[in-house]
Chains A and B, each alone.
Chain A
């Protein structure tokens, strides 16, 4: 079955992963800008990273028939330094013009600090000004609930933002309901320990339905599984979900959300 992994950090993955994903049915991915596991020492480090996302990775993915799209931002883990963050944000508009850039992401909060929130709000304003889709990272573990609420309030404070053009990612059982209730899209990230397992993702779909929700691996440099989307397809099949429902969660829904950007063009 075909699938889209709408959130995966392929700069941290091997070419073998591209091959395994293609063999498992992956036809497209989107790669948000994120924290590399260490703080970059200058804005130039981000500039080079954005070039990697927009020039190198699309070619690497294309070798395996996978369409590669990306998102631009300075991630919340490096947003505590407001001066650095604003310098990085100053050259994002030029990247937004490129043909594989879908919007602003993954912005959000990490420890729910005041500076993180300031830079999040400035990213939201940037997205509104350039009429971009938004992909939101929500904090980890004990910080997730509070951060998700702060993020949704900040989005609501910007009248130019339409909830249907915002995907709030890394939801779990205690945040998925509030995200969907406020009209946003919700993303479930499939991690072995710190987010959703394929089983829990299937539970959430059974409990909250399959509208405005997608699954992703968010594969990066930490413990994760770049094949977690097809493994969730398999989990849903094992339970007796219909092929239509499985395809909707893993292909149709991400395609519908992402197609709000005219640059995204993936056939079923």
Chain B
């Protein structure tokens, strides 16, 4: 459980001064990435990773707390049983859509 006294020692203004420029740049990176996808030769909208990505953008704007946890959960596998065999070593970053 989160600590009941959870807090950042910085003031709101100090946090803005420390982090705004860094995260402004990251936001613009996201925007440029979406623009880049639109310029690709096969502009698709059904890639499972991008479906999760668009849902993640909605989480960022919903005004509710625990955004990092909720984003990570949005990209997570919620099944509970081990799979039969490992299909690869790596991970994809989001769950493929269930064909059913």
**A and B contact pairs by CB, cutoff 8 A, 30 listed:** A110-B89, A113-B84, A113-B85, A114-B85, A115-B85, A139-B91, A141-B93, A141-B94, A142-B75, A142-B92, A142-B93, A142-B95, A143-B77, A146-B76, A146-B80, A149-B80, A173-B69, A173-B72, A174-B68, A174-B76, A181-B1, A199-B19, A200-B68, A206-B7, A206-B8, A206-B9, A207-B2, A207-B6, A209-B3, A238-B18
Q: Apart from A208-B6, A240-B10, A241-B9, what are 5 other A-B pairs with CB-CB below 8 Å?
A: A77-B89, A143-B91, A144-B76, A146-B79, A203-B68
For B87, list chain A residues within 8 Å (CB): 111
A112 vs B80: C-alpha distance when bound (angstroms): 10
Total interface residues in chain B, CB < 8 Å: 35
Q: Which residues of chain B have C-beta atoms less than 8 A from A207's C-beta?
A: 2-3, 6
Min CB distance B14 to A, Å, is 8
Contact assessment for B80 and A80 in the assembled complex, using a CB-CB cutoff below 8 Å: no
CA distance A145 to B68 in the complex (A): 14
Return chain B residues, CB-CB under 8 Å to A209: 3
Q: Is the CB of A145 within 8 A of B78?
A: yes
CB–CB B72/A145 < 8 A: yes
Residues of the B chain whose Cβ atoms lie less than 8 Å from the Cβ of A145: 72-73, 76-78
User: Interface of chain A, helix or strand or loop or mixed?
Assistant: helix
Q: Which residues of A contact B89 (CB under 8 A)?
A: 35, 77, 110-111
CA distance A155 to B50 in the complex (A): 35
Q: Decide: B9 and A141 in contact? CB cutoff 8 A.
A: no
Residue on B nearest A211 in the bound complex, by CB: B3
In the bound complex, residues from chain A placing their C-beta under 8 Å from that of B83 are: 111-114
Q: Is the CB of A208 within 8 A of B2?
A: yes
Q: How far is the CA of A224 from the CA of B11 in the complex (A)?
A: 31
**Residue in contact with B77 in the complex, picked from A77, A146, A203, A208, CB distance below 8 Å:** A146
B90 within 8 A of A: yes
Nearest CB in chain A: distance from B67 CB, A = 9
Q: Within 8 Å CB of A177, what residues of B?
A: 1-2
Task: List chain A residues, Cβ under 8 A from B72.
Answer: 144-145, 172-174
Interface string of A75-86 (1 = CB under 8 A from B): 001001000000
Tell me the nearest residue of chain A to B79, going by C-beta. A146
User: How far does the Cβ of A59 sit from chain B's closest Cβ, in whole Å?
Assistant: 31
| A169 part of interface (Cβ distance < 8 Å) | no
Whether the Cβ atoms of A141 and B10 lie closer than 8 Å is no
The proximity string for A residues 208-226 relative to B, scoring 1 for CB distances below 8 Å and 0 otherwise, is 1100000000000000000
